[in-house]
Amino acid sequence: MSNHSLKMKLAQAQQNRGQCFCFIIPPKVFERFLEDNSFSQEQKQNFKNEITIDNSWREFKGREVKKCRKTVRHLGPLDAVDPTFAPSSKVTIFDCKNSYSLPGAEILKVEESDDPTVQHVLIETQAIIKFFDSVFIRNSIDDQGIDIVSSVHYGVAYNNAFWNGIQMTYGDGDGNLFIDFTSSSDVIAHELSHGFIQYSAGFEYENQAGGLNESMADVFGSMFKQWRNKQNVHDADWLIGKEILGPAALYRGFRSLRNLSNPSDPSCLSPQPAHFSEYVDGMDPHESSGIANFAFYQAAMQVGGYSWEKVGQIWYKALVAFDPNPQMEMQFFANRTRFLAKKMFAHDTSVYKAVNQAWLTVGL
């Protein structure tokens, strides 16, 4: 894909209401550190710049990209994908060279690049394609073999990564609060999972649907990391983004961005509520997602084994086996997974019991 054609595609996406812009780091993280006088004025100015850049994208999304939904082929309830439909997705990577212009310059021979950031993106993106194929029999994130496009070295010391509706974008981090955003496999999988959600359930990025959108990205990001490391639910750490934390974050006692096993963990940069009673409309999806995150964790721990084998299959079907529901509410999603647990594992009632109890634990 040429630089020009991707720019045209990006322009078309920006006019398409079926796209969404989703960031791994919420603005409250930077707002918190603006109050920390141990950071230099230069570092604080960098945080202000992050907020300005990210808010510009969010405001654009609010004006032009109201619904994270796209018309695609949808399966009927509990239908299966033809297993002979082989993956054909290609990974294309562009280099922004520290500019804020997307997509950047195409790297023509990605496999031969000696840039470790490029290699991280190539290897992990290929692994994510394989993950969706082998675990869920899904042909890339859209089930149609769509190519995965990524841009690296976005901006100057840019502290974020995002999915903008058609591609991934990664900052290098400032080397202090965050390091290279391609360093964490679950961060890459989290953001690409926003694309998967876009092409399946199409959740909007606000209110309860927004919380579900963020939660599904965390859940599939965590499942991918566990699958990549061959970890069962008891071996997994259930942390999101621990590998991208820089020395300033580690020095302050932070261990990760979020923790599915304990959403309110104070060692998280972005702590979350874990019970629906704490939810309020308008809450940042990065916060409200903790409710559904904790439900998935509870269900997976009760069922045991590998998270993607049973509970992950239920969550996947809940997203792909029904028509898009952009304004999905959490109770409705919880009930859908209950229904699927009974339907898919009728021979094993312990699965339904685990899913049911997990949602009751979070108040749904």
Instruction: Give the tokens for residue 26.
Output: 């919420």
Q: Is 35 a residue of the active site?
A: no
The answer to whether 35 and 51 have CB atoms below 8 angstroms apart is: no
CA angle 302, 230, 119 (to 5 degrees): 135
According to DSSP, the β-strands at 168-170 and 161-163 are antiparallel
According to DSSP, the β-strands at 148-152 and 91-95 are parallel
* Rounded distance between C-alpha atoms, residue 143 and residue 141, angstroms: 6
Question: Count of alpha carbons within 13 Å of 283, Cβ hemisphere only?
Answer: 22
CB count within 10 Å of CB 339 equals 16
Taken in order 220, 225, 228, 234, the sign of the CA dihedral is negative
Q: Is 204 a residue of the active site?
A: no
Instruction: Give the tokens for residue 136.
Output: 């869920």
The b/e string for 64-83 (b: 16+ C-beta within 10 A; e otherwise) is: ebbbbbbebebeeeeeeeee
CB count within 10 Å of CB 160 equals 24
What's the burial of 228, exposed, middle or buried (CB within 10 Å: 0-12/13-18/19+)? middle
* Rounded distance between C-alpha atoms, residue 80 and residue 319, angstroms: 13
Instruction: Give the tokens for residue 117.
Output: 């950031």
* Amino acid (1-letter code) at residue 169: T
The residue annotated as part of the active site, out of 191, 204, 206, 214, is 191
The residue annotated as part of the active site, out of 153, 190, 286, 287, is 286
Q: Which residues are catalytic?
A: 191, 286
